[in-house]
Amino acid sequence: MPRRGTTPLVNDVELQTRSITFGSADDDEKPKKPWYFRLPLLVTVILILAPQPSVLRVLVDHHWRVMKSPLFFAVHLAAIYTLTFTTLTSLLICVTRDPGPVNTHATRRTDYGGDDEDIGLAEALMADDTDYTAPGKWCRKCWAPKPERAHHCSVCGRCVMKMDHHCPWLGSSCIGHRTYPAFVHFLTCATLLAIYIATVSVRALIYSFQNPYGVDEVTPVHELVLSMYGIIISIVIGPFAAYNYYLITTNQTTLEHISPFMLLRHLPPLPRTGHSLSDPPLEPELSYEQRRIVKDAHGKILMYDLGWRRNWAQVFGWNTRWGWVPRLLCGGASPGDGTHQPRNPRADELLAKLAEDLIKADRNFR
């Protein structure tokens, strides 16, 4: 297999016979998502809004009529509907905002004055030290440069900047650089909303059991259903939110965390002789021992971990005085353009050690 950096991006024949389109495919060429891809989003909205009538009934019957406590009624009502509002706003951001365009046609046509059909080739060959022949630097489906941590989504038919995952429950859209804070905000608010509803309902339900003649016959049913609803949603979404807190703290995306063999594309150039591995090694050619070495190293080599403070600032940081307001209301978007991803200073040293271990295991295997 040819080594990295030795194969030209395009050859003379390609330059003369065809023009290369830079960026994602045209909108008419992108795969159209069927209407039923939106059904999970409808289910998500229903799960958020369906409990609201029962919540209102419990608050009115229990706190207003039975407990004679307008203050608690107002506090619980404000808290529940504030959390509902913030949950819906971050959901709206995730569904409507572009997760992170790698390249946009409008930008290319504005910045470059040449023919449209030659834009891709011109931009690809502009002054840039990036080696696009290196693994992960060029998308062969979009036929365009792919920034670090960007990935191609087969469902959306495009590359997404710092792609975390594709979520069917949010309108079959990707979670990326510009929507990840809103996604975490959505998980957090949905979990807090479920816990709050469960707490209020359980307390009211306990009172109903202790005072069966002081309440009507229907309200305890609403309290029981709301208690089960809040507990189940908390158990389902809460751990997912905690998992994303861990990813932010260690500066990983979901794809990076569940795909240990992505480390192979970051290995330093291997020696030309003394082993049978490709450069960089490919997952299918690894032996069982080599796979185990990569998986063990995956938990130690955190490529982009800069310390928890800087890691959280990369997702939820702000530069303006009132930048915390959108973070509080809807999560906002990550700062920066997403193309520059500073690495862990120790990453290169650990990657070199991983390369040595793979070569040593290859020699022992032979």
Average pLDDT over residues 120-137: 53
Residue 122 exposed, middle or buried by CB count within 10 Å (0-12, 13-18, 19+): middle
DSSP character string of 267-287: SPPPPSSS----SSPPGGG--
User: Would you say 103 and 22 are in contact if contact means Cβ atoms under 8 Å apart?
Assistant: yes
Give the catalytic positions in this structure.
Answer: 167
- Give tens-digit pLDDT for 7-33: 444 444 443 333 334 444 444 445 577
Percent above pLDDT 90 for the chain: 58
DSSP character string of 94-111: HHHS-S-BS--HHHHHHH
CA 340 – CA 149 distance, rounded (Å): 9
User: What is the model's pLDDT at position 136?
Assistant: 64
User: What is the model's pLDDT at position 130?
Assistant: 59
- Give, as one character, the DSSP assignment of residue 37: G
Q: Other C-beta atoms within 10 Å of 310: how many?
A: 13
Pick the closest to residue 246 from 234, 236, 258, 235 (CA basis): 258
The most confident of the ranges 97-106, 146-155, 190-199, 311-320 is 190-199
How many helices and strands (H and E) does the chain possess?
13, 6
- Give tens-digit pLDDT for 321-356: 888 998 999 998 899 888 888 999 999 999 999 999
- Give tens-digit pLDDT for 269-291: 988 888 888 888 999 999 999 99
Residue 244's pLDDT band, with cuts at 50, 70 and 90, is: very high
- CA dist 207 → 71, 214, 251, 258 (Å): 18, 9, 45, 46
Average pLDDT over residues 233-252: 96
301: left (phi over 0), alpha (psi -120 to 50) or beta: beta
User: What is the model's pLDDT at position 319?
Assistant: 86
Residues 6+ apart with CB under 8 A from 264: 135, 280, 281, 282, 283, 294
CA 312 – CA 251 distance, rounded (Å): 8
Residue 132's pLDDT band, with cuts at 50, 70 and 90, is: low
Label each residue of 53-88 as H, E or C. HHHHHHHHHHHHHHCCCHHHHHHHHHHHHHHHHHHH
- Give tens-digit pLDDT for 133-171: 565 678 888 888 888 899 999 888 889 999 999 999 998
Sign of CA dihedral 111, 112, 113, 116: negative
Residue 129's pLDDT band, with cuts at 50, 70 and 90, is: low
User: What is the model's pLDDT at position 126?
Assistant: 46
User: What is the model's pLDDT at position 225?
Assistant: 96
Residue 103's pLDDT band, with cuts at 50, 70 and 90, is: low
Pick the closest to residue 148 from 341, 9, 343 (CA basis): 341
- Give tens-digit pLDDT for 53-91: 999 999 999 989 898 889 999 999 999 999 999 999 999
User: What is the model's pLDDT at position 133?
Assistant: 59
Average pLDDT over residues 248-265: 94
Mean per-residue pLDDT over the chain, rounded:
83
Burial 204-220 (b: 16+ CB within 10 A, else e): bbebbeeeeeebeeebb
User: What is the model's pLDDT at position 343?
Assistant: 92
User: What is the model's pLDDT at position 40?
Assistant: 93
